[in-house]
Structure 1
Amino acid sequence: MNEHSGWAPRVVTPGVLQVTATHDGLLEALGNTARTAELLLADKALVFRGFGTEPHQVDAVLELLLPDRLAYVQGNSPRTKVGRNVYTSTEYPAEYVISMHNELSYAERWPSRLAFYCERPPVTGGATPLVDGALWLASLDTQVRESFQGGIRYTQQLHAGSGFGKSWQATFETDDRDTVEAYLARSDVAWEWRTDGGVKITQQRPATMRHPATGKVVWFNQCDQWHPAGLDPEMAAVMSELMTEDELPQSVTFADGTPIPAAYIRHIRDQGLAAAVDVDWQVSDLLLIDNVAVAHGRRAYTGPRRILVAMSG
């Protein structure tokens, strides 16, 4: 992890926890769930390192860290489900940086915790950057912060199995339209089925969030990931050639429908990445983060990389 003057996640080793440097030692320590919760609240992110947990043992760790594991329903990142609500962290192309974000911050319900496990680190790059959401908010220009006080409007265009972006079947992990409608009816969103079988979803959300335990206000949205100006220039150019703005898989405006200036988006994206602290992966590392207090992303990388992720409410 690189040095950062403002904040950094806490590295938790067997010596810190006073247990053996084994998977069983980690389970012993995590059995004290109250202590883990206290550490996470205080430090916002914890890197458990040096315990040697193997892939087939991860589920036992997740049972302690994430007692109510959630499915990645309504998620927009490409992933593969590899276990009981365990997924690949992302399958976004390795050459692109993924900007800072809080998981599912555009949805009515988001996870409170995320846990990542390093099965295979990349050859180069591939760190998971983390940023304190309060520091990110404070780093933004006053004009930018104030312009988002009214909130954000997100729009998803999910195809029915063929098209750019994710299908509604993959997004909601079902082929049943009634199940999707029941979920959306509980989610404070507007939706309509398109004539091609896809679905358009519109939802309004705040740009900031007050942490339920600490009371700190943090930057909590994904406007830069949903806006063309936040994308890699090459990818943005390809998308603009293939489809109109109304056809984009995901788009974002201010809550009243006013366009968000591209300069604001780039400022938000760049400030988040600049303030981030990189977690450079080692085999068997486990990273636990508070999904409200801390945003995360991904650095570009080379070589195979396999990071697993799970989340809880």
Structure 2
Amino acid sequence: MEKEITNNSKIGECSVLEIKEKQAFPFIKEASINNTNLNDWIFNNKQEFDNKLCEHGAILFRGFNINTVAKFEKISKLFDTDSLEYAFRSSPRFSVGKNVYTSTSYPKDFSINMHSEASYMPNGHPGYIIFCCINPATERGETPIADNRLVLSFLSKETKTKFLEKGVRYIRNLNKNIGLSWQEVFQSNDKNHVESECDRTGIDYRWKSEEDLELTWVKKAIWEHPKTKQLSWFNHASFFNKFTLEKDYYGSVKNEDQLPNNTFYGDGTEITKEEIEEIINAYKKSTIEFPWKKGDVLFLDNMLCSHGRNPYEGNRKIVTSLF
């Protein structure tokens, strides 16, 4: 059974009807009595799966009983490319299977802002991200999603032009006292390995101390999707910016130079607070939320679709894998 989400949905400042008119989002495939094996359905309908994912950016599979990590791992074997290790990480995650991770362990009472997974990575990025609901939260805990093509359409011409021409400059300060350590980010205790990785991927680095490493690089902000050829808002410009960081979470930071993350235009000029607010509002206008159900599997084209996380109560367990 195929349908669109209509009930229990909240869509930023747009009505459900407006989103429907722009694009059915996400596309939903529910198990039928005669078709309850998700692996079989994807294998036998690979072209339809690819087409729907390109068209809608997100596919929600519901009722296929993918309620364990072992079942979720089997899905990855259907794809041409191997699932990816969560490298150059920006949040703490824990492995629960072969390249299967828990969703971020960011405190449950905080929201996670909208973003496309690892769009900040200086050398490549995941093409797809898959979520599976092993256990839903008792309250809230939705994973909001937004069509990045819509996000781009809601930005002013001036803002789009600046990001298109300049890109985004990312600055990360790796220090375990204010965020993630360099050992966690690079999954290594070897400074020589870290420096080699930076050289290989085009990252400028500066050791402030043995445990304090500053990284800087520039990347495009607006991308042409390799299959659809549509332009998409694909970056961490607002997610990593100083104006969106949770003050309570990073209360020990004394000045901007100590922030775990910050962003600028590619030429080093500041992204203004007003421009960050414009980006956040564009996400809000493009975002839809739905309650997780146990066994749900959500496929996202990472360039076409962004996601976040709402605060929650209870023993929420969402696992994820990158491709």
TM over 0.5: yes
Partner of 1:71: 85
Partner of 2:61: 48
Q: CA deviation at 1:115?
A: 0.5
In the alignment, the residues of structure 2 paired with residue 243 and residue 62 of structure 1 have an alpha-carbon distance, to the nearest angstrom, of: 44
Partner of 1:155: 171
Contact 1:120-1:283 within 8 A present in 2 as well = yes
In the alignment, the residues of structure 1 paired with residue 38 and residue 263 of structure 2 have an alpha-carbon distance, to the nearest angstrom, of: 42
Q: CA deviation at 1:234?
A: 4.2
**Corresponding position: 1:115 with 2:126:** no
Residue 28 of structure 2, aligned match among 2, 5, 11? 11
Partner of 1:131: 146
Contact 1:230-1:269 within 8 A present in 2 as well = no
In the alignment, the residues of structure 1 paired with residue 235 and residue 94 of structure 2 have an alpha-carbon distance, to the nearest angstrom, of: 24
**Corresponding position: 1:261 with 2:277:** no
Q: Secondary structure at the match of 2:184?
A: helix
Q: CA deviation at 1:196?
A: 2.6
Query: In the superposition, relative to structure 1, how do residues 163 and 66 fare at CA in structure 2: closer, same or farther (>3 Å)?
Result: farther
> What are the equivalent positions in structure 2 for 1:1-313 lying under 5 Å apart?
1=5, 2=9, 3=16, 4-5=19-20, 6-7=22-23, 8-15=25-32, 19-21=34-36, 25-32=37-44, 33-55=46-68, 56-65=70-79, 67-107=81-121, 108-149=123-164, 150-159=166-175, 162-232=176-246, 234-235=248-249, 238-239=251-252, 242-312=253-323
Q: C-alpha root-mean-square deviation of aligned residues, in Å?
A: 1.9
Q: Secondary structure at the match of 1:171?
A: helix
Contact 1:102-1:291 within 8 A present in 2 as well = yes
Contact 1:66-1:311 within 8 A present in 2 as well = no
In the alignment, the residues of structure 1 paired with residue 135 and residue 80 of structure 2 have an alpha-carbon distance, to the nearest angstrom, of: 22
Contact 2:242-2:261 within 8 A present in 1 as well = no
Runs of 4+ in 1 over 6 A off after TM superposition: none
Q: CA deviation at 1:298?
A: 1.2
Greater shift, 111-120 or 177-186, is seen at 177-186
Number of aligned residues: 302
**Unpaired segments of 5 or more residues in structure 1?**
none
Q: Secondary structure at the match of 2:243?
A: helix
Contact 2:152-2:282 within 8 A present in 1 as well = no
In the alignment, the residues of structure 2 paired with residue 165 and residue 233 of structure 1 have an alpha-carbon distance, to the nearest angstrom, of: 13
Q: Secondary structure at the match of 1:119?
A: strand
Q: Secondary structure at the match of 2:218?
A: strand
Q: CA deviation at 1:174?
A: 2.0
In the alignment, the residues of structure 2 paired with residue 168 and residue 266 of structure 1 have an alpha-carbon distance, to the nearest angstrom, of: 30
Q: CA deviation at 1:210?
A: 0.6
Name the amino acid aligned to 1:153.
Answer: R
In the alignment, the residues of structure 2 paired with residue 146 and residue 125 of structure 1 have an alpha-carbon distance, to the nearest angstrom, of: 37
Query: CA offsets per residue over residues 23-46 of structure 1, 9 Å max, x none?
Result: xx2121122334422221222111
Contact 2:168-2:264 within 8 A present in 1 as well = yes
Q: CA deviation at 1:129?
A: 1.2
Q: Secondary structure at the match of 2:299?
A: strand
Query: CA offsets per residue over residues 152-208 of structure 1, 9 Å max, x none?
Result: 10011112xx41101111112222233323322221221123323332111101111
Identical columns (%): 29
